[in-house]
A and B are shown apart, each in its own frame.
Chain A
């Protein structure tokens, strides 16, 4: 039972490079989201999706793009990495809307931008 799978677990980027963080879930959840977690802070919502083909911005969307072509996958793209994007990124999914049911989180991707 894989749940929510994130890859890679660790990544170092140079300023200006682009990359894609992968997130996949095998629970047929409609709702998927990306968060970043910085020291001393909680999780901040970057982007979310309520179903295939539908995405929307969260609290801190600048510098990130997402797409949702399938129910299973929700990749997060960093267009031009900046040191301010050094963080731990979590992907989450839930059945139906975010409110009614619990979210299941991936193991996180620790990203360092130098």
Chain B
């Protein structure tokens, strides 16, 4: 079982704050890292698929970076809005393609 850790477990911020959280994963046998956004009572939706060391991806106010050599990825949210409240999951895929390991998620609550 691969160890994929996300921190913090939960985060409460005020509207307008910028925030970031971390996904740590094994630095060997890297194939891809995915980020998903999961709103309550809905299903996870993909934010980013990252495959190369040094990748930086952006979608609106949300961006992510990837460091495969040290085994971590950061997700940044600039100017948080209440609609950003969700659980953010990362999934590590190793070179044995087909097996994805999810972290337990970071739950973000943005207060108006």
Of the listed stretches B14-22, B73-81, B95-103, chain A binds: B95-103
Q: How far is the CA of A45 from the CA of B93 in the complex (A)?
A: 12
**Residue A74 interfacial (CB < 8 Å):** no
CB distance A100 to B51 under 8 Å?
yes
**Residue A42 interfacial (CB < 8 Å):** yes
Interface residues of A in 32-71 (CB under 8 A from B): 33, 35, 40-45, 48, 50, 56, 58-59
1/0 per residue, CB under 8 A from B, across A55-93: the answer is 010110000000000000000000000000000001000
Contacts of B91 in A (CB 8 A): 43, 103
- Least distance between A60 CB and chain B CB atoms (Å): 10
- Least distance between A13 CB and chain B CB atoms (Å): 22
Contacts of A107 in B (CB 8 A): 42-43
**Residue B49 interfacial (CB < 8 Å):** yes
Contacts of B102 in A (CB 8 A): 35, 42-45
Q: How far is the CA of A43 from the CA of B93 in the complex (A)?
A: 13
Q: How far is the CA of A106 from the CA of B45 in the complex (A)?
A: 10
Q: How far is the CA of A90 from the CA of B43 in the complex (A)?
A: 8
CB distance B99 to A100 under 8 Å?
no
A50, A97, A103 interface centre (most CB from chain B within 10 Å) = A103
Contacts of B72 in A (CB 8 A): none
Q: Which residues of A contact B (CB under 8 A)?
A: 31, 33, 35, 40-45, 48, 50, 56, 58-59, 90, 97-108
Known A31-B98, A35-B102, A103-B36; 6 more pairs at CB < 8 Å: A50-B98, A59-B1, A90-B43, A99-B51, A100-B32, A103-B100
